Amino acid sequence: MEALERTVSHIRDVAPDAVIIGDAKRGDIGPSARAYAKAMFGFWDFDAVTVNAWGGSDSIEPFLEDPTRGVFVWCRGSNPGSGDFQDLLVDGKGEGTPLYEAMARACADWNTSGNIGLVVGATVPGQLAAVRSLCPDMPLLIPGVGAQGGELESAVRAGCDSKGRLALINSSRGVIYASPSADFASAASEAASRLRDSINHVLEQDGLGWLSS
């Protein structure tokens, strides 16, 4: 907790415009969700959080109330077992919709304040592309490149919107464990810069780079 507190405070000091996402994946009944939302936004002051919406609309509603805070709903995981349930075909809007697509559609309906995003893994570019086409204007938080082996290029192409934006591609262990030695801090910084440059390289190739657009 102390390390988290110091990390958040350091980011606020050195990069006041950075968006800090609390990856807590909260998911509970409404009254408990309300307490969690108060903790995540009121105490920790995160700009956005991740939630697990298995409990349905009332389980995420308290997180959505403040339109200045973002809520990333876990939609299609990057881990090998995430398809066990999330790819199951359910009867929803159109027969045989995979559950993760039903989740994406529900989130689009709940997104009346424009503060919902979705978490979709880089390891499943097909599902990532499907979610992007269902939710063309939603931010996507995309874990799974780096240690989990997801391919960066397809994550950028499948995950970005039509302008090459709205994808937050995350690598955690690939950055924080870039070096086991005393140079861990500079190695982490270099790994993060390399990832940024690789993302930008794909965008440039597609004419969607920060400089070319």
Ligand X SMILES: O=c1ccn([C@@H]2O[C@H](COP(=O)(O)O)[C@@H](O)[C@H]2O)c(=O)[nH]1
Query: Which three-class secondary structure string do you get for 1-56?
Result: CHHHHHHHHHHHHHCCCCCCEEEEEECCCHHHHHHHHHHHHHHCCCCEEEECHHHC
Q: Which is nearer to ligand X, 64 or 75 (CB)?
A: 75
Dist CA 184 CA 3 (whole Å): 17
Dist CA 35 CA 32 (whole Å): 5
Q: How far is the CB of 17 from ligand X (least distance, A)?
A: 23
- If residue 62 lies in a helix (H) or strand (E), which one and from where to where? helix 57-64
Q: How far is the CB of 15 from ligand X (least distance, A)?
A: 20
Q: How far is the CB of 107 from ligand X (least distance, A)?
A: 15
Q: Is 25 a catalytic residue?
A: yes
Within a 10 A sphere around the Cβ of 65, how many other Cβ atoms? 13
Dist CA 7 CA 144 (whole Å): 23
Helix (H, G, I), strand (E, B) or coil at 163: coil
What residues make contact with ligand X under the rule CB under 6 A? 23, 74, 77-79, 82, 119, 121, 143-144, 146-148, 170-174
Say if CB 115 and CB 69 are below 8 A apart: yes
Residues designated catalytic? 25
